[in-house]
Structure formats: C-alpha cells, structure tokens
Amino acid sequence: MIQKLQYLSPFFKSLIFLLLPLFYYLTGGMNYSQAGQMSILAFFTLITLFTWREVLETKRWLSVLLILVVLLLCIYSGLQVVLRSIFGVEQDDVVVIQALFNTNPGESKEFLAQYARYMVWPALTFFVFFAAYWKLFITSDGVYLKDRDLSAYKHYSKWAVLFTVLLIASHLNKTQRLFNPFFYFPYYHAKWQGEMDQSKLIQQQLAGTNLDKDLATMALKPGLVKNTVVLVIGESDGRNNWSLYGYERKTTPGLDRLKDKLLVLADVLAADGATVGSITKMLSQATLAKPNLWKTKANIITMAKRLGYKTYWLSNNGAAIRGAISVLAAQSDRPVFTNKGRSRGESSMDEVLFAPYQQALADRADKKLIIVNILGAHPAYNFRYPKAYNKFEYEFGDTVAKALFAQGRAPWAVAFRNMYDSAILYQDYVLSQLLERLRSRNDPNSSWLYIADHGQDVSHHNNYSGHNPKVKEMWEVPMLFWQPELAKGLTAETRKWQQRPYQADHLLHTLLGQLGISGTLYDEKHDILSERFDRRAAPPRLIGKVPYDQ
C-alpha cells in the first residue's frame, strides 16, 4: 500500500497536500479564502518541484528543497490558523499587522505565553501531517527512483516547464501573490510603516488643532446643560432601495412605521463617493472644494470635547478601514471597534453594536456625542444579514425582479440586487433598534441623526454591482432626523424642510447645530435643521465632478 503511494504521480502527491488546508477549513481554523489561497499556493509549488525531481538527474538537492518547502507550507498553514483563532481575522488585517510588526521582544514573549494554548492543536496537526507527508512522498523517493525506467519519464520535462509557468502565473494575481510569505512580509511591513508614519503625522497635526483661534470663539447655547446627540453613519446605503423613499420592495418596514415621527430628508447627496472621503468631510471642516482640511483643522470630536461633551466612536466598520477613520476615532474619549472579522470576507452583524451603544446611552455624563458607524450594506451583501432577513434573496418574480429582467439584467445581477435589498432590510432592523433605544429613554435633551457615507450601484444601470461614483444611486443617500419634539408630528414648516436640497460635505454645521455650539465655525445657512438654512449659500452640488442639479 505504502509502496503504491510512493509511485503516485506529482499531480496526486500535490493534491494530497491539500488535505491539510481542507482539514483546517472543515474544523473552522481557516476561512474559505485562506484555505483556497493556501491550496493554490501549495498545489502549484509542490507539483512544480515534484515534476522537476522526476526529470532532473540529481535529485538530492531537490529533495532537500522539497522538505523545506513542505515544512514551510505546513508552518505557514498553522500560522494562519493561530492568527485567526487569536484575532478572529485574516493575516492581512490591520490588527494582525500591528501585532506582527509593532512588538518588541519582551512583548512577543508575553504574547507567546498568553496565546500558547491557541497554538497547540494547529502545531500538532501540521507536525503530524508534515512527518507523514515527508515519510510517504519525499524520503522514500530515492528507493523507487533507483530501479525505474528513466525513459518512461522523459515526457515529464514538458510538464515541468508548464507547471513552472503556472506557478509564476498564479502570482500575477495580487491577492494570491501577497498570500505567499515571501511577498507577504516585506509588502505589509512597508505598508504598515507608511501608514503609521502618515497617521502619526496627522495625529500630531490634529493634536495642535485644539489651539485653533476659531475654537476660542465657540460657545454653548445659553442654558444648555444636558444634551445627547447620536450620529449614526451608514455604509454603502442608497435611499433608492428604501421603501421609506418609495422603493417597491418593503425594505424598511421598521422605519416606515416611524415615518410621522421622523424628519425624512428626501434630497440629500453623499459628501463623497467613497468611505474615507465622505466620513472625513462630514465630520470636519473639509468639503468637496477643500478635501484635505480634515488633516490640519479641528473636527467635530475636538470641538465637542472642548465644550464639555463626552465623545464615543462605536464602529462595526473598523477592521477593514485603516488610517483616516481610525485616526478620527482615536480623537474620541471612547473608541470601540466591534468588527473582529474582515468586512468584505466575513460577517460581523451590526447588532454587535447594541451592547456598547446601550452602555454609551447609560453613561451619566451630561453632554454626550455618540457616533455609531455601522457596516450597513457594504459588499459582500450576503454577509451583511442573518438568515432570518434573507426575505428577498430568492425573489425572482416580484415587480422589482420582473422590471430588472425586462431591462435585460442577467439572473446573477438580479441575485445581487436581492441580496442587497435583504441587507437593507436587516439594516432597517438595526437602525430602528438604535433609534428605539434612545427614544425609550424619554430624554427630552436628545436627538438622533442618520446618514449614509454613500450609496451603491446594484444593477441599477447594467449588470454591475458595487461602488460606482459615476451614477446617482451612489450619491443619493437617506438622511433621517429624530428628536422628542417630533413626537407631536411634523408641522407644515418641518414638512417643507424634508425637501431641502443638501450635500453632506457641509454636515459639520448641522452637527454643530445639534450640539448647540455657536462661533465662527458654525454657519446656520449650512445647517439643514436650522430655520435659517439657505441652500444658495452652498456651492452647486456635485456627483464627482459633474453638477447634480441641472
């Protein structure tokens, strides 16, 4: 039996190695993308080496190389599992990069001691696997190589060249290349260093903004003693897919029910077409015309803190976003990041924010600014909702699906729309909960504002789904406002406010208005919730570089 295994072709020998990533995947040690990348890397490397060994006359050094490569692949697989069980994320996540590159020997020792238990079984598995693989396919090769008919293996040289080319070709894909440890470590180390330098610089600049002359002019509204301002920032959420804004599918039933107690702002454009650009513009003095001011001028968190607000940053949208957003979050008194998975590859349902949100609401501080950054409907849409909310996932026969088919969309493009709408449905539950939890406190000095960072193109124009700053669906975002006074219902005046045209790069003024902060930095003409709002004060609204209002 063992004899037979030794005569297996390089193809099967390489294939058998994939049992290791498969085992780690089935036991939950690796996710599907890690197991897949590991399999591709291992298969092409091993089949290339095994085939060359059949062809070349001198085999000894190739055998040594094979042993080293197999050992390295085993250790590397084990490392993936260890990192993932410790951090709950893949190796290219920012927390892992930090842990790998931002430690001194003392810390590393402590780290090893603390996490040794996570390393035992991956280490044991790969050691046993390595020993067996070595015994079966590498050391014993010499025995059968001696007495074989070499001419039968002549044709292998063509294959050896082909596999070498395939091995190189598999590295043309950037994700796959960076999975290879020889590329991974240098690339991420340099990248991490660059990001750290950049963040440090911005942190230093922002620390200095506390001395801005403008800040000295700021004051709280007379008599303002208690105030809780909640700002919820959505992700990849376009209002064209909300039933509250007239979409045919009932995607926002929870918020629909609250319609009469909410100000539903119907004509708001995103501050920018991408996450970082949008969030930095909404929360700082940066605008579309001056996008870099967030790096050097005071932002809403600095301003709020200066006037005695306790500031919270609760994010489920954090792990994948580095740099800018984490720099802003770090300005707050309490940054909390709930996402322990990669936002694109794995799911971290937004309801994980409820617990820290509840704690922030219960905080006894008189004045609070609570910023909640949800993951919303960010791709991949099917990772954004639990099964109970897959209402539209298999919906191919309702009016929306029929209309899409009539416009010539492919079934898979409709499937993307279906998953996106299901994500919006779950998000409706999350937003309703975030609002209800504030409402139920019956605090007269509280307010709640929701706006998305940008929308999403989900088969709206063709079969494409994803970020697409060229289309209006990427910019037309929902914006909701609630405060206890609205319980009495909207007045004729506030009903008119709902139609106010606005672009969110001026949101800073609306936030200052809610915080009750006046001064040279607050211009009520840019505050969409102010009686003195004046749209003519703002420059023409833009979608990228294209005017929106014709």
Residues that bind Zn ion in the complex, under the rule CB under 5 A: 235, 275, 453
CA distance 223 to 529: 20
Pairing relationship of beta strands 367-373 and 310-315 according to DSSP bridges: parallel
Collect all residues with Cβ–Cβ distance below 8 Å to 349 and sequence separation of at least 6: 384, 385, 386, 426
Pairing relationship of beta strands 227-234 and 367-373 according to DSSP bridges: parallel
Collect all residues with Cβ–Cβ distance below 8 Å to 5 and sequence separation of at least 6: 136, 137
Collect all residues with Cβ–Cβ distance below 8 Å to 230 and sequence separation of at least 6: 370, 372, 434, 438, 446, 447, 448, 449
Taking the complex as a whole, the smallest distance from the CB of residue 480 to Zn ion amounts, in Å, to: 18
Give SS3 for 543: strand
Taking the complex as a whole, the smallest distance from the CB of residue 351 to Zn ion amounts, in Å, to: 19
CA distance 323 to 275: 12
Nearer to Zn ion, 455 or 516 (CB): 455
Taking the complex as a whole, the smallest distance from the CB of residue 360 to Zn ion amounts, in Å, to: 23
DSSP state of 539: P
Taking the complex as a whole, the smallest distance from the CB of residue 279 to Zn ion amounts, in Å, to: 8
Nearer to Zn ion, 307 or 377 (CB): 377
Pairing relationship of beta strands 465-466 and 517-518 according to DSSP bridges: unpaired
Nearer to Zn ion, 374 or 529 (CB): 374
Taking the complex as a whole, the smallest distance from the CB of residue 235 to Zn ion amounts, in Å, to: 5
Nearer to Zn ion, 327 or 517 (CB): 327
Residue 361 contacts residue 353 (beta carbons within 8 Å): no
Residue 430 contacts residue 350 (beta carbons within 8 Å): yes
Residue 372 contacts residue 232 (beta carbons within 8 Å): yes
Nearer to Zn ion, 267 or 453 (CB): 453
Residue 547 contacts residue 541 (beta carbons within 8 Å): yes
Nearest in space to 361 (alpha carbons), one of 282, 427, 440, 269: 440
Pairing relationship of beta strands 263-265 and 457-458 according to DSSP bridges: unpaired
CA distance 220 to 499: 29
Nearer to Zn ion, 21 or 238 (CB): 238
Taking the complex as a whole, the smallest distance from the CB of residue 317 to Zn ion amounts, in Å, to: 8
Burial class (CB in 10 A: 0-12, 13-18, 19+), 435: buried
Nearer to Zn ion, 258 or 477 (CB): 477
Taking the complex as a whole, the smallest distance from the CB of residue 325 to Zn ion amounts, in Å, to: 10
Nearer to Zn ion, 400 or 452 (CB): 452
Q: From its phi and psi, is residue 522 left (phi > 0), alpha (psi between -120 and 50) or beta?
A: beta
- Helix-, strand-, coil-residue percentages of the chain, each rounded to 5: 55, 10, 35
Nearer to Zn ion, 179 or 242 (CB): 242
Taking the complex as a whole, the smallest distance from the CB of residue 291 to Zn ion amounts, in Å, to: 16
Taking the complex as a whole, the smallest distance from the CB of residue 231 to Zn ion amounts, in Å, to: 15
* C-beta nearest to Zn ion: residue: 275
Taking the complex as a whole, the smallest distance from the CB of residue 543 to Zn ion amounts, in Å, to: 16
Nearer to Zn ion, 29 or 379 (CB): 379
For 310, the enclosing helix (H) or strand (E) is: strand 310-315
Phi, psi of 451 (to 5 degrees): -150, 145
Taking the complex as a whole, the smallest distance from the CB of residue 272 to Zn ion amounts, in Å, to: 9
Nearer to Zn ion, 34 or 275 (CB): 275
CA distance 456 to 156: 51
